[in-house]
């Protein structure tokens, strides 16, 4: 099972009547998969942290549940599950659409669900 998260606000893609700006996805047993937005300069975890903390933004998951910036950032940084077991990486190799930062955070440059 997976859950996608979206940001809403006065920025490109943040239209509250639309789907929102895709932040990324959490899936059982795996680390968070980030959506990179190169045109907005959001390509690393610190970029997302800054954006979510300094922008007038509402965060919501695909099921309509509101999420605070602190909760979202905590979810993005998780490396172990509730029982303390390590979460697996999403992918290891780079290609033109995917990359892993030096902190081990996986990003995808194109939309995914």
pLDDT at site 59? 97
Contact by Cβ (8 Å): 50, 43: no
Mean pLDDT score across all residues of the chain: 90
Measure the CA–CA gap between 33 and 23, rounded to whole angstroms. Answer: 9
pLDDT over threshold 70, residue 44? yes
Residue with tokens 């659409």: 97
pLDDT band at 93 (very low <50, low <70, confident <90, very high): low
Of 19 and 27, the one with more pLDDT: 27
- Residue 73, classified by CB atoms within 10 Å of its CB into exposed (0-12), middle (13-18) or buried (19+), is middle
Please give the model's pTM, rounded to 2 decimal places: 0.90
- Based on its alpha-carbon atoms, the radius of gyration of the chain, rounded to whole angstroms, reads 13
């Amino acid at each position: 099972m997976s859950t996608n998260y979206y940001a809403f606000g006065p920025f490109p893609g943040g239209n509250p009547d639309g789907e929102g700006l895709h932040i990324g996805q959490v899936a059982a047993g795996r680390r968070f998969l980030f959506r990179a937005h190169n045109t907005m300069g959001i390509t690393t975890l610190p970029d997302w942290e800054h954006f979510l903390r300094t922008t007038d933004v509402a965060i919501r998951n695909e099921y309509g549940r509101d999420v605070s910036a602190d909760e979202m950032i905590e979810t993005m940084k998780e490396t172990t599950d509730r029982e303390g077991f390590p979460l697996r990486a999403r992918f290891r190799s780079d290609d033109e659409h995917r990359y892993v930062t030096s902190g081990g955070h996986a990003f995808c440059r194109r939309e995914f669900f």
